[in-house]
Amino acid sequence: MKIYNTLTKKVEEFIPNDKNKVNMYTCGPTVYHYAHIGNLRSYIMEDILEKTLMYNGYKVNRVMNITDVGHLSSDSDSGEDKMVSSAKKQKKSVLDIAKFYTDAFFEDFKKLNIKKPETIEPATNLIPEYINLIEDLLAKDIAYISGGNVYFDTSKLNDYYVLTNHKEDDMVVGVRDGVEYDDSKRNQADFVLWFTKSKFEDQELKWDSPWGLGYPGWHIECSCISMKHCGEYLDIHCGGVDNIFPHHTNEIAQSEAYLGHKWCNYWVHGEHLIDKNGKMSKSKGDFLTISLLEEKGYNPLSYRLMHLQSHYRKQLLFSFDNLDNFEQAYKKLKQKTLLLKDSGDVNKEQFDRYNNIFIGYLNDDMNTSSAITILYDVLKDNSLNESTKYELVKSFDKVLSLDLLKKEEDSIDENLIRYIEEKIKARAQAKQNKDFETADKIRNELLEKKIELKDTREGTTWNKI
Ligand code: AMP
Ligand code: ZN
pLDDT of 114-125, one tens digit each? 999 999 999 999
Whether the CB of 222 sits within 6 Å of ligand 1 = no
Average pLDDT over every residue of 299-313: 98
Confidence band, pLDDT 50/70/90 cuts, at residue 87: confident
Whether the CB of 26 sits within 6 Å of ligand 1 = no
Cβ atoms of 64 and 109 within 8 Å: the answer is no
Whether the CB of 123 sits within 6 Å of ligand 1 = no
Q: How far is C-alpha 202 from the geometric centre of its chain's CA atoms?
A: 32
> What is residue 411's predicted lDDT score, i.e. its pLDDT?
64
Average pLDDT over every residue of 404-414: 79
Higher pLDDT, 110 or 412: 110
Q: Which of 69-73, 235-239, 412-416 ranks highest by mean pLDDT?
A: 235-239
Residue-wise pLDDT for 222-260, tens only, equals 999 999 999 999 999 999 999 999 999 999 999 999 999
| Cβ-proximal residues to 203 (8 Å cutoff; 6+ apart), any chain | 81, 84, 195, 215
Q: Whose CA is nearest to atom 22 of ligand 1?
A: 39
> What is residue 169's predicted lDDT score, i.e. its pLDDT?
59
Whether the CB of 275 sits within 6 Å of ligand 1 = no
Q: Is the pLDDT of residue 326 over 70?
A: yes
Q: Is the pLDDT of residue 38 over 60?
A: yes
Q: Report percent pLDDT > 90 for the chain.
A: 75
Q: Tell which phi-psi region holds residue 169, choosing left (phi > 0), alpha (psi between -120 and 50) or beta.
A: alpha
Distances in whole angstroms, Cα of residue 224 to Cα of each of 32, 126, 230, 265: 22, 8, 10, 17
Residue-wise pLDDT for 151-166, tens only, equals 999 999 999 999 987 7
Candidates 368, 268, 308, 365; CA nearest to 24 is: 268
Question: How far, in Å, from the CA of 306 to the mean position of ligand 2?
Answer: 26
Least confident of 9-18, 56-65, 170-179: 170-179
What gap in Å lies between CA 235 and CA 227, rounded to an integer? Answer: 12
Q: Whose CA is nearest to atom 8 of ligand 1?
A: 39
**φ, ψ at 219 (rounded to 5°):** -75, -30
Q: Is the pLDDT of residue 177 over 60?
A: no
Return the best residue to mutate from 39, 73, 219 for the ligand 1 pocket (most ligand atoms within 8 A of CB).
39
Ligand closest to the CA atom of residue 251: 2
> What is residue 176's predicted lDDT score, i.e. its pLDDT?
45
- Sheet strands (E) in 110-227: 119-122, 143-146, 149-152, 191-195, 215-216
Specify the pTM.
0.88
Residue type (1 letter), 210: P
Confidence band, pLDDT 50/70/90 cuts, at residue 200: low
What gap in Å lies between CA 461 and CA 421, rounded to an integer? Answer: 9
Average pLDDT, the chain: 92
